[in-house]
Structure 1
Amino acid sequence: MAEKMNPAVVDHLPSFIPVPGHSDWLFNAVVVFLLIVVLVVGNLYFQLHAVPERMAHRTSKVQIEIVAVLALISLFTHNHIYWIIGLLLAMIEFPDFSTPMSSIAQSLERISSRESSALTDEDAAATDAEKIAGKGEGI
């Protein structure tokens, strides 16, 4: 005896409803799609957070360290003000103070070593003159 179908059941089911015992292809497609979307959005998010560091890459070491720390703080705290400050610091080109200061320090070191060698020569000449002058006075 053939079973009669319930009148509430339709003859044709949509294609996204799986047959009992088979896998749900729509669910699998949505899971793969959502994973891809999450990975792409995360990649774009990290690329956006790296913009100040990439801009500061051509600047001095101290400036890139400050910008990197600010970008890291903004990444973990989700406070965008740190990212904006890092972006502004990356845009500003600070003058190079370390190169002239090191040049001045090297020049002063050379001058002081010349003066100290000149002073030792003068001290040696003065002590020789004192010895000669001291010998003749006692008689």
Structure 2
Amino acid sequence: MSASLHPAAPHHLPPFITAPGDTDILMVVMAVFLIVAVLAVGLLFLRLHTLPERIAHKSKKLQFEIVAVLGLLALFTHIHAFWVAGLVLALVDLPDFGGPLGRMAGSLEKLAGFAPGRGAEGVPDDPAAPLAHDHGDAREETKELTHA
């Protein structure tokens, strides 16, 4: 084999063409660049995907858990509406309904003479049996009203 160039080949070869047996520097650089680019895009995607959870982290526990579940649903189902709903829920500050309702329940327990937090003791867990009503009279009245 001769080391001379083919007569149709240009006399000056570009620097990215290597001799046989040498390391292809361009391929190595591009492989490293491709790995770094894929990792950077993946990191950007995950940071963007967890944006609603990071916003809701400062809010109430229940709101944070709902936003986290919506984020997981969006991640595993690829339905973007879950992510948008989680972002909207994270941005909206939900009012505290438990505080006023708890104060109302405490006041009602105090009015009823129960100790605070002891209002439901003594109430049976089983619901009461439904009362039996005789609907016979109502059926007769209905017949009279509908009969011409």
TM-score greater than 0.5 by the shorter chain: yes
Q: Which residue is 2:115 aligned to?
A: 113
Q: Which amino acid aligns with 1:64?
A: F
In structure 1, distance between residues paired with 2:57 and 2:21: 57
Pairwise CA distance, 1:88: 0.8
Q: Which residue is 1:133 aligned to?
A: none
Pairwise CA distance, 1:99: 2.9
Alignment of structure 1 residues 1-139 onto 2, 5 Å: 5-105=5-105, 111-113=113-115
Q: Report the secondary structure of 2:69's partner residue.
A: helix
Pairwise CA distance, 1:67: 0.5
In structure 2, distance between residues paired with 1:4 and 1:12: 13
In structure 2, distance between residues paired with 1:19 and 1:26: 13
TM-score normalised according to structure 1 size = 0.70
Q: Which residue is 1:132 aligned to?
A: none
Pairwise CA distance, 1:106: 5.2
In structure 2, distance between residues paired with 1:4 and 1:23: 20
In structure 1, distance between residues paired with 2:5 and 2:59: 77
Aligned alpha-carbon RMSD (Å)? 2.5
How many pairs align?
114
- For residues 99-129 of structure 1, the C-alpha deviation after alignment (integer angstroms, 9 at most, x for no partner) is 3344455566664139x9xxxxxxxxxxxxx
Task: Answer with 104-113 or 88-97: which moved more.
Answer: 104-113
In structure 1, distance between residues paired with 2:3 and 2:24: 27
- For residues 60-92 of structure 1, the C-alpha deviation after alignment (integer angstroms, 9 at most, x for no partner) is 111111111111111122211111111111111
Larger relative contact order, structure 1 or 2 (CA cutoff 8 Å, min sep 6): 1
Identity score, percent: 46
In structure 1, runs of 5+ residues without a counterpart are 117-139
Q: Which amino acid aligns with 2:6?
A: N
In structure 2, runs of 5+ residues without a counterpart are 119-148
TM-score normalised according to structure 2 size = 0.66
In structure 1, distance between residues paired with 2:3 and 2:40: 51
Residues 4 and 41 (structure 1 numbering): CA distance in 2 closer, same or farther, change over 3 Å?
Answer: closer
Q: Which amino acid aligns with 1:77?
A: T
Pairwise CA distance, 1:53: 0.8
